[in-house]
Amino acid sequence: MDTLEELIGASAWAAGLSAAQLARVRADMVARQFPAGAHVCRRGEPAESWLGVIDGLLKLSSDSPDGRTVTFAGVPAGAWFGEGSLLKAEARRYDVIALRESRVALMPRATFAWLLDASIAFNRFLLVQLNERLGQFIGLVEHRLLTPEGRIARSLATLFNAQLYPGVGPSFRLSQEEIGYLSGVSRQRANQALRVLEQAGLLRLEYGGVTVMDVEGLRRYEG
DNA sequence: TCATTAAATTGTT
DNA sequence: AACAATTTAATGA
């Protein structure tokens, strides 16, 4: 995607809005560009907006006290996130970092709150979104118990969640280094594990990307 | 269109 | 972490 307008057009929640509602949403939102490695949000910051990814790839992560980085989720283009902190009026619970150069759309909290009151379609969208995320986080609990193959399979399966990330097709531009960041393994180990998964017929590796052949297989993979 | 070069990514230790 | 090999993208003749 190239523009804020395109992102809105591709978003399920926008389809249910009236022309007038859409007009206000468009007027209130802004887009910002972040270079690779930059913080989009910092943990502990007050959450002032709902975020959508126009282009690029973000990760939601947190640094534990002992210095280890735990990644909760990768967020590809077309996805929206951050509703949890807005709904509870609390500080951001995680860091948001651009894994590659990315463009992000920001909806001010006031607009978000207004949509919540004004649109049933918007509420429905958030309900599904929150439910899908709950599923993701339940899966996260056992993430550390899995082999590197299992972790990567799990991370990819969540990234190819059609409900949360409608912009992600079967083949996706994603380097092995990025897969490593999302899965919590080194690039070297990611490279090794990815080829095991390819041998198992679950995905196909290409230069600079992957094609997922069997999402369910990845989700169920136990290594 | 082809050749050259730089940058990105992968494969391996 | 470092290094070599491979692929892609960009450039200019």
Q: Which pLDDT belongs to residue A48?
A: 96
pLDDT tens digits along A13-58: 999 999 999 999 999 999 999 999 999 999 999 999 999 999 999 9
Q: What percent of chain A has pLDDT over 70?
A: 100
Q: Which helix (DSSP H) or strand (DSSP E) does residue A69 occupy?
A: strand A69-76
* pLDDT higher than threshold 90 for residue A218: yes
Q: Which residue lies nearest C8, CA-to-C1' measured?
A: A207
pLDDT above 90 (res A93) = yes
Assess whether pLDDT exceeds 90 at residue A66. Answer: no
Q: By the 8 A CB rule, do A7 and A52 touch?
A: yes
Which H/E stretch holds residue A20? helix A19-28
Looking at chain A, the whole-number percentage of residues with pLDDT higher than 90 is 93
**CATH H-level superfamily of A4-141:** Jelly Rolls (2.60.120.10)
- Encode pLDDT of A96-136 as tens digits: 999 999 999 999 999 999 999 999 999 999 999 999 999 99
User: Is the pTM for the entire model greater than 0.85?
Assistant: yes
**pLDDT in the model for residue A11:** 96
**Token pair recorded at residue A98:** 């651009």
* Bases of chain B with protein Cβ within 7 A: 8-13
Which pLDDT score is estimated for A102?
97
Give residue A215's pLDDT.
96
Separation between Cα atoms, residue A100 and residue A58, nearest integer Å: 7
- Please compute the mean of the pLDDT values over residues A170-181 and round it to a whole number: 97
CA of A34 to C1' of B9 (A): 22
Which bases of chain C are under 7 A from a protein CB atom? 1-2, 7-8
- Measured at the CA of A96, the angle between CA A91 and CA A102, to 5 degrees, comes to 140
Residue A183 has pLDDT above 90, yes or no: yes
Q: What is the pLDDT of residue A223?
A: 78
Cβ-in-10-Å burial (0-12, 13-18, 19+) of A88 comes to exposed
Residue A208's nearest nucleotide, by CA–C1', is B9
Going from N- to C-terminal start, the domains of chain A cover: 4-141, 146-220
| CATH tag for A146-220 (out of 3.40.630.10, 2.102.10.10, 1.10.10.10, 3.30.1950.10) | 1.10.10.10
Find all residues with CB under 8 Å of A95, minimum gap 6, and list them. A39, A41, A42, A43, A60, A61, A62, A63
Token pair recorded at residue A219: 């989700």
